[in-house]
Structure 1
């Protein structure tokens, strides 16, 4: 079978590579961002926005009284990961504690987000449920075969899912840490994709030109999760989180595919921006991407100059403005 031969050739090309080979293309520069358990949600959102990332390791920093002892701690204790999805779940739980049912009216929901969002932003990160720390490796293990890391770390060893239609639990990044507990590097799924894409001719060969339908991929049996273009964006994300997906197609009332909504659309969101999550999904995406969806456009929206949308890379590029921090 042609596709099997192409897969075998790609595996053979990837076999000599190690995780260390991917490190030079990892996104970001300088020291790895870590968030401390005592930091607030608001502080964390601002830190993530400055780095333009969606997640970071969560650590317990040594207490001041521990630093003066004869044997001071060597470094922070790693708790796991905290990401934008964890903060969004926390926000939804906070709102439900106030209202058993989330408001569906845009203006009412926007008022709640702008009011309660400020309260929520002062919550410490340790009160949120973060991700597991199973995607961790000692720095000395950077020489592990890349294929083994992909299988055992990113894909969790291919373990069984909970339920016939459950979505496999995967890790979106792998962190390397030293003997002192400090994170020295983070390799994400995107970093691996970028690494392979830049060498697609050598690593993938004929596989790169094949349609997905020929690859024999194990398509999920879970039902497709779609969101209505006119529903409030926060409620759309609520539906996605409940279904365990990070992205979903946006459909019109007639069932036409309009766009795609992803957790990555919340990159650079800050506490004072939370009110925009009350906007209809189509309007939110139209403003974010500077385009038009179902009659919603950047020109016709009262929120077109909102700081969240004004700070989007596309908006700044169109106006010849430097990127934040650039």
Structure 2
């Protein structure tokens, strides 16, 4: 574990999903989060995002803890397991329901895609199809779903308001919730609470003030800022790092064995070898040589991440 006596004024976090072993992209995101927090004299919270019981496996969660210990990337708070947090999410959900901000959505994924053009890459904007249904229309659609043994999902009403994020690495990012997002899911049709709600509730519970993660999640920031406002939580600062991609521009994933933690251990021989190589690939250090966490906190150049959305992984 990291030294718990440091100032808690800045608290970063690492929140992996236990659907496989860590890979270079996971380690890179956490390394930068760790550097940002510790340069400010802050702390780190660990969260295991095991909301999806079908894909999340306890053995991967345990492997993550061992891998982080091996790499020297400790934490001060947690680990917090989302699978144990259902009641906290339910309370936040009912807070929003009681204020008339939530409605049932009967649309399938195909319905949503058919009714909307994609905005900002592959993000589809919900057209509000179910927002203004009459009570009779809702009752009819509910009966139809129930006859199929299904339930509706639940969406949060968004305002015609622009949220501006001053991202540590990507600069200014603006999104009008009504135009660029639409009413978004906070509870799935299977009853599971959605990522956007869970992450906001958990960041507040763990005292997180600094979120560093992959740039693919930049477009989620305005929704999360909106939920923070609704639930009375403080906004956090954001920093979205480039994605590590293969030479064919495919994002690294748990399926990329050359970037897996086990393969990196075999290739680079030590935790310092792995961290030094990742820092070199990201342009944070000028030489591909072993570097400890403390050395990177002291010397890594994070300016190489500014305005960049991807870095090519070189095994």
Q: Please classify the TM superposition score into its range, dividing by the shorter chain length.
A: under 0.3
| TM-score, length basis structure 1 | 0.23
| TM-score, length basis structure 2 | 0.24
Determine which structure has the larger strand proportion and give its number.
Answer: 2
